A and B are shown apart, each in its own frame.
Chain A
Amino acid sequence: MDNLNKKDKAQLKELKSPMAVVDWAVNWFRKQSIFMLAYGTGCGAIEIPPTVTARYDAERFGVRGAATPRQADVIVLSGYLAVKTLKRVIRTYEQMQEPKYVIALGSCPINGGMYWDSYNTIKQLDRYLPVDVTVAGCMPRPEAVLEGFMALKDKIQRGEAEGARDYRDNIEKYKNNQKEIFGDKMLPGYTCDWYFSDGGSF
């Protein structure tokens, strides 16, 4: 249970300005506490329970489940996404609070996987949502999923896990891509923008 491991200490020594230390510390807290949204989108949902339960116990790394998108930090998209699911996933993702991360599991979100010729699944997830970490496998074993979480932690510590910012900045691009499959049955703009009258955060 060495939370501040050697790597962290070495990084801390290199920091010069106080602001950098604050940033570093904020990222450290973010990486040590990851609330995972329980949304089983595909086959990979079957390897999530072993990852979070007694055998592999992801809670050792501060990964725990969250019930609602409002409380969650990371959404794990476990496998293929049917068009109908993608719509809900986008909605869910937009309801999450920044900073928020996406982990994609398995072949299917990368290039369609074995469902590459299916008329109802999407082929490239990163066209529709900003993906932070992708884990290979069909399905990835719990060890690989844990490695995925560790890669995400590294990314957060480096301060590069800014998928949400990317999504906001390139909202046009993402929405156009989404429009390609949803047609005129698109979701309204960024969920927060229309859902809250007082403009979301302050």
Chain B
Amino acid sequence: MLFTIFNSLLAVLLTYSMGMLYYGFYRIGNARIHRRVGPPLWQNVIDNIKLFAKREAPGHGIMFHLGPVIMTAGTITSMLFVPFLKDSAWLQGFSSYGNLILLIYLMVVGPLGNALAVGVSGVPFGVMGVTRGLTRLIGLEVPFFLSVALLMSGSGTISISEIMMAQDSFSNWNMMAHPAAFIVSLFSFVGMMGASPFDVVGAPVEVYSGPQAEFGGKYLGFLAAQRVMFSMVKLILWVDLFLGGATNVFILMAKSFALFFFYFIVGAAFPRFKTEQAVDFMLKLPLIIGIGAVLVRFWSL
């Protein structure tokens, strides 16, 4: 039991530092594309600590306080059901008790909790951001479910660990074995990470910063930390599902960074879609590929 708790803490620490590192790179990389120097690599950590060091934070009653907490809790719970490494006792969390379907549900819990808090705050921009987020979710989830379904039927299991185990060599990686599923999932991946062109939820020029509009001080600190950790969870999940998992932390970082780099270039190069354009986009190309792949799959069964 103690080992599990220690392992969980380690997972939190690892995702936090990995996330801060990646997003530090993200800011510097963006700055370079902008032809400027950019902040130091650890600027995100400084920002985060500063937010926690703010003396004041606005409150709107108990539900508002709970929002960031639910969000962070949701993130950490999802994290615990994702195995980080294969063939290792380390960084497994509770993944042996859960499966992919549970995880898909858990990943939605955080945003829903936040939606309640934003609703309590009564800020129209926040409410609008949440509405946009939920609308966008419809677009994102459909291709994601399709690719996950393909994967599950392909591997014949719903356990993440087992899916990961099955990918023993490069040619067996799900990315090679089920290229259609991988491509479809990449679209939802970019959307789930909140990169342009699917970042309409928190667009500052439209709805201030959407769901975060009313959060300041330590709440924002929680949300910022939560965001980077959640991004890492998604990266690791994709590594597990499609890139053959990782046997140690360095391989994990290398693989997840490759995915992160993809997200980064897409985010840097494109402006953002409107909400319905984003949903439209998701329900066109990815959906067609996805449905095509599913049909092919059932044909071959």
Q: Which residues of A contact B (CB under 8 A)?
A: 1, 3, 26, 29-30, 32-33, 35, 53-55, 57, 59-60, 62, 64, 67-68, 70-71, 73, 95-99, 192, 196-202
Beta-carbon contact of A197 and B61 below 8 Å: yes
The 10 A-B residue pairs with the shortest CB-CB distance, nearest first, are A70-B216, A67-B204, A54-B36, A57-B36, A33-B50, A98-B56, A67-B209, A97-B216, A97-B56, A33-B47
Given A30-B50, A68-B209, A200–B34 Cβ distance below 8 Å?
no
Tell me whether B59 and A201 are in contact (CB under 8 A).
yes
Contact (Cβ within 8 A) A98 B209? no
Judging by beta carbons under 8 Å apart, are A71 and B212 in contact? yes
The answer to whether A70 touches B58, judged by C-beta atoms less than 8 angstroms apart, is yes
Q: Is there contact, CB below 8 Å, between B58 and A192? A: yes
Dominant secondary structure at the B interface = loop
The listed residue (A3, A29, A55) touching B53 by CB distance below 8 A is: A29
Closest chain B residue, CB of each to CB of A27 = B53
Q: In the complex, are the beta carbons of A29 and B216 less than 8 A apart? A: no
| Interface pick from B38-46, B108-116, B252-260 | B38-46
Q: Which residues of B contact A (CB under 8 A)?
A: 27, 31, 34-40, 42-43, 46-47, 49-50, 53-61, 204, 208-209, 212-217, 220
Considering residues A54, A62, A68, A202, which has the most beta carbons from chain B within 10 angstroms of its beta carbon? A68
Residues of A within 8 Å of B49, CB to CB, are: 29, 33
22 contacts between A and B (CB under 8 A): A1-B40, A3-B42, A32-B46, A33-B43, A33-B49, A35-B47, A53-B36, A59-B38, A59-B39, A60-B39, A67-B204, A68-B213, A70-B215, A70-B217, A71-B220, A95-B58, A97-B217, A98-B54, A99-B54, A198-B61, A200-B59, A201-B56
B43 contact from A62, A70, A99, Cβ within 8 A: A62
In whole Å, how far is A29's beta carbon from the nearest beta carbon of chain B? Answer: 5
Check B204–A200 contact: CB distance below 8 A: no
A3-B40, A70-B215, A97-B57 are known; give 19 further A-B pairs, CB within 8 A.
A29-B53, A32-B50, A33-B43, A54-B34, A59-B38, A62-B39, A67-B209, A67-B213, A68-B216, A70-B213, A70-B216, A73-B50, A98-B56, A198-B59, A198-B61, A201-B55, A201-B56, A201-B59, A201-B217
A196 near B38 with CB under 8 A, answer no
- How many Å lie between the Cα of A168 and that of B160 in the bound state? 55
Measured CB to CB, the closest approach of chain B to A110, in angstroms, equals: 29
Tell me, in angstroms, the Cα distance from A199 to B57 when the chains sit together. Answer: 11
A53:B214 contact, CB within 8 angstroms: no
> Which chain A residue lies CB-closest to B219?
A70
Task: Report A-chain residues with C-beta under 8 Å of the C-beta of B46.
Answer: 29, 32-33, 62
Q: How far is the CA of A199 from the CA of B39 in the complex (A)?
A: 36
On whether A29 and B212 interact (CB within 8 A), knowing A53-B34, A62-B39, A192-B58, the answer reads no
| Beta-carbon contact of B36 and A67 below 8 Å | no
Q: Which chain A residues border B47 with CB–CB below 8 Å?
A: 33, 35, 62
Q: Tell me the complex Cα distance, A192–B59, Å.
A: 10
By a CB distance below 8 angstroms, the chain B residues around A199 are 59
The smallest C-beta distance from A115 to any residue of chain B, in angstroms, reads: 29
- Assembly CA distance A30 to B55 (angstroms): 11
Please measure, in the bound complex, the distance between the C-alpha atom of A68 and the C-alpha atom of B121, giving whole angstroms.
Answer: 14
Closest to A65 in B: B204
Chain A residues lying within 8 Å of B50, measured Cβ to Cβ, are: 29-30, 32-33, 73
Assess A71 versus B209: contact at CB under 8 Å? Given A30-B50, A60-B37: yes
**Which residues of A lie under 8 Å from residue B56 when comparing CB positions?**
97-98, 200-201
Q: Is the CB of A99 within 8 A of B55?
A: yes
- A182 to B72 CA separation, bound complex (whole angstroms): 44
Closest to A55 in B: B36
Most chain-B Cβ atoms within 10 A of its Cβ — which of A3, A62, A71, A99? Answer: A71
In chain A, what residue has the closest Cβ to B214? A70
The smallest beta-carbon distance between B229 and chain A, in angstroms, is 19
Give Cα A67 to B129, complex, Å.
14
Q: Which residues of the partner chain A approach B54 to less than 8 Å between Cβ atoms?
A: 97-99
Q: Judging by beta carbons under 8 Å apart, are A59 and B58 in contact? A: no
* Contact A202-B59, Cβ < 8 Å, known A29-B46, A68-B213: yes
Known: A59-B31, A60-B38, A67-B209. A200 touches B61 (CB 8 A): no
